[in-house]
């Protein structure tokens, strides 16, 4: 198979979806051919790595966009994922450090959680 004519299409597909099998199917190239090119051609290997990284970034951007939409739709799991990944106050702590600390909430902490749940319309306000 001619690499000069097929490799660019394969790399374009890899930039869209960084899954080798999908890029192979869409460009009409076998996985064996791609892996042979990777072994034999350092320039192709470099272009492959760049295309794969670009594909991962593209999927990450799409995923983050979808996550933000889920957050706007008040999906708790999306909100939790975002906060544990992006906010130091909500970052997941190791189990060891949690077990060493007092896990009882203070009255202020309980009130803060209750207010947050009320603002998010997850519980009814006290005055209703």
Among candidate residues 66, 59, 61, 65, the one with its CA nearest the CA of residue 15 = 59
- pLDDT score for 109: 74
- pLDDT score for 95: 36
Any idea what DSSP says for residue 90?
G
Rounded to an integer, what is the distance from CA 82 to the centroid of its chain? 10
For residue 102, being part of any structural domain is answered with no
For residue 53, being part of any structural domain is answered with yes
**Residue spans of alpha helices (H) in the chain:** 3-16, 20-27, 31-40, 42-72, 76-86, 95-100, 107-119
For residue 26, being part of any structural domain is answered with yes
Number of domains in the chain: 1
Structural domain that includes position 9: 3-93
In the numeric block, which tokens belong to residue 102? Answer: 């007092």
- pLDDT score for 102: 58
- pLDDT score for 2: 77
For residue 117, being part of any structural domain is answered with no
For residue 126, being part of any structural domain is answered with no
For residue 125, being part of any structural domain is answered with no
Q: What is the mean pLDDT of each run of 10 residues along the chain (128 residues)?
A: 85 95 94 96 96 94 91 90 85 54 71 71 65
For residue 62, being part of any structural domain is answered with yes
- pLDDT score for 17: 92
């Amino acid at each position: 198979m001619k690499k000069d004519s097929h490799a660019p299409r394969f790399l374009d597909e890899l930039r869209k979806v960084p899954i080798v099998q999908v890029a192979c199917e869409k460009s009409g190239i076998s996985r064996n051919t791609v892996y042979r090119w990777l072994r034999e051609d350092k320039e192709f290997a470099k272009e492959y790595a760049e295309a794969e990284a670009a594909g991962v970034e593209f999927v990450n951007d799409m995923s983050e966009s979808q996550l933000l939409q889920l957050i706007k739709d008040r999906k708790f799991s999306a909100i939790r994922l975002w906060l544990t990944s992006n906010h130091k106050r909500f970052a997941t702590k190791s189990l060891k450090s949690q077990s060493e600390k007092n896990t009882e909430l203070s009255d202020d902490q309980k009130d803060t959680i209750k207010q947050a749940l009320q603002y998010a319309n997850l519980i009814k306000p006290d005055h209703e």
